[in-house]
Amino acid sequence: MKVLFQYLRGNSILLSVSCIIGLILASVALSFYNSRVLDGYNRTKLESQAVLRDTDALLENLQAMDLGVRGYALTKKQELLSPFTGAVVRVDSCLQRLQGQLRKQEYGQMESLLQVKHVFDDYIAYCNQMLETARVDSMATFVEMLNQDRGYAVWKTWNTFATGLHAHEEARVQQAQAEYELATRINVFLQILLLLLGIPTLAIVVSRIREDARNRTSLLQALDQNNRQYLFDPGTAVTLQNPSAVIETSIRNFKQAHDFVASMSAGDYEAHWEGLNADNAAVNADNLAARLMQMREQLKKMKWEDERRLWITEGQARFAEIVRLHQHDLTALANQALTFLVKYLDAQQGSLFVLDEDASEPHLNLAACYAFNRKKHLEKRIAAGQGLVGQAYLEAETTLLTEVPRNYTFITSGLGDATPTCILIVPAKSNDRVEAVVEMAGFIRYEAHQVAFVEKAGEILASTIIAAKNSEKMQRLLEDTNLQSEQMRAQEEEMRQNLEELMATQEQQLRLEQELRENAGQLEEQLAELREGKAALEGKENELRAANEKATKRSQQFREKMEAMDAEIEHKTSQINVLKRNNEELLQKLAGFEGKDNA
């Protein structure tokens, strides 16, 4: 209870004002509610009147339809039928409006409205039948149909519907009126309650304002004290006579803290706390101003580290791009990589030595140099352990010289020569294996992050050099393979030509053999003819001997002729034998060529 009482006492003004504001808001809300209830009451009343008016209009239209049918049947005048036709249209409109309004009201007896619509539709159809009967002058049938009094059944259905609908609409209007009267009574009650609570509340507020004035003074004193203790103490005297000055000082300190943080967040790490000096530094050793100054120093250090990391990352990306563009050309790779490293580290000279393992003794060859006073591509060979470069290759460790020996190297410009103040020698390693050595000279001392960058670049360069060497080896193997392929194609072409010549020779030999065979055949035919002639001559000779032994002289001549013919036959026979031997030799040569072709 004590805690509750203290809470109520400490927040009495707030609670009182909150209560009054709550009552005022409730009164305003209730006024709006009353207005809405009144609008709802009026709307409900107008809707009920419209529904009842449409309901009564159904009965009036029923009477108009009956009047139009009777007038037309008696007079046969078309203009007297207008009450019927107009009533039909109005009935349909009334039923549609009633259906929409009652659905909106969620009327629970919609089936009664459907019954009314059904009987009206039937009655309209029945009236049309009556009119057709009247048009054909069948008055007896018309009178009989009229005596059925179908309109009475329609009226009964309408009366049942209208009675229930009147009760429903009257209940809706009464409910809306009751809600409006209840809202009005509640509004009057709230107005009285507001008056009863407002007067005591005003008295409490006046009392609390005086007490708050006293508390405000003590609060300003605590504010100034806390402002000096936790935010910033300018070292001046405390003045509470002007409360606005205390608040303005506090606001100014907070604004200065905000501007200080905003400057640092914008990257301005040279921001200073205005008013902080050596005279008041002791009293501000542990407040927000001192902490912000400390944070500024830490952020400056972090910015420095971030710049170093960004420098390394950007350099590695650019170096990797250079390596990617020239990875297939070892000479261009060495020149471009060394040029980039020298310029990126603000060096004045640089050289790149690449390991040559193809020689009998592995050594380093100068692959590229930058800004040396000699031919750029001058060949230079360094053995393992020879000089600083050879020692760096042998030990696989980075060397950083800040005391350069005299005459080690000179940096030449248009104004003269000077000895560099720093030498950096970095072995380019891949999997703990040195593939190259980078040497740079300049007038600045290289820091640890720069040395680390060159070492990382050396790893990338070493991997690329290995890949480039392998690529060159593969290129040479490919060229050798292509050369061998060309030689094999030339040999194949030569063999193809020899084969074509051999085939041509074989064809020529076949033609010669055929000619020889034809000549041998002709000679054999001639020999056969000669043998037949010899046989004929011998027969004639015998006949001549038997017939004329006396013809010695002629016989002697005949013998001589026969001897000549024998000599000629022997000569022909020797020629045939020579031709046969030649054919045999040709056949043997052909058999030899065929054996070579098969081989």
pLDDT tens digits for range 559-572:
676 677 667 777 77
Same domain? 345 vs 427:
yes
Residue 6 within a domain: yes
Across the beta sheet with 422-430, the strand order is: 381-383, 363-370, 349-356, 433-442, 422-430, 399-401
Q: What average pLDDT does the chain have?
A: 76
Residue 224 within a domain: no
Same domain? 467 vs 380:
yes
Closest CA to 177 of 43, 325, 363: 43
Closest CA to 430 of 453, 451, 460, 402: 460
Same domain? 450 vs 347:
yes
pLDDT at residue 149, as a whole number: 81
509: containing domain: 496-598
Same domain? 509 vs 456:
no
Residue 568 within a domain: yes
Which CATH number fits the domain that encloses residue 55?
A: 1.20.120.1730
Same domain? 27 vs 55:
yes
Residue 233 within a domain: no
User: How does pLDDT run across 183-197, given as a tens digit for each residue?
Assistant: 778 777 877 877 777
Domain count, the chain: 4
Same domain? 125 vs 25:
yes
Instruction: Using the 3D structure, point to which of 203, 232, 258 is the last residue of a domain.
Output: 203
Phi, psi of 355 (to 5 degrees): -70, 135
Instruction: Using the 3D structure, point to which of 449, 481, 513 is the last residue of a domain.
Output: 481
Same domain? 442 vs 519:
no
Residue 319 within a domain: no
Instruction: Using the 3D structure, point to which of 289, 307, 325 is the last residue of a domain.
Output: 307
**Neighbour tally for 182: CB within 10 Å:** 12
Residue 122 within a domain: yes
Stronger pLDDT, 499 or 457, i.e. the higher one: 457
Same domain? 476 vs 526:
no
Cα angle, residue 314 at apex, residues 309 and 320 outer, rounded to 5°: 125
Closest CA to 443 of 350, 348, 344: 348
Same domain? 286 vs 380:
no
Stronger pLDDT, 430 or 15, i.e. the higher one: 430
pLDDT confidence tier of residue 133, bands split at 50, 70 and 90: confident
Residue 135 within a domain: yes
Residue 514 within a domain: yes
Stronger pLDDT, 562 or 593, i.e. the higher one: 562
pLDDT at residue 202, as a whole number: 74
Same domain? 22 vs 129:
yes
Q: How far out from the chain centre does Cα 30 lie?
A: 58
Same domain? 576 vs 453:
no
Same domain? 400 vs 546:
no
Burial category of 438 from C-beta neighbours within 10 Å (exposed 0-12, middle 13-18, buried 19 and up): buried
Which CATH number fits the domain that encloses residue 467?
A: 3.30.450.40
pLDDT at residue 414, as a whole number: 43
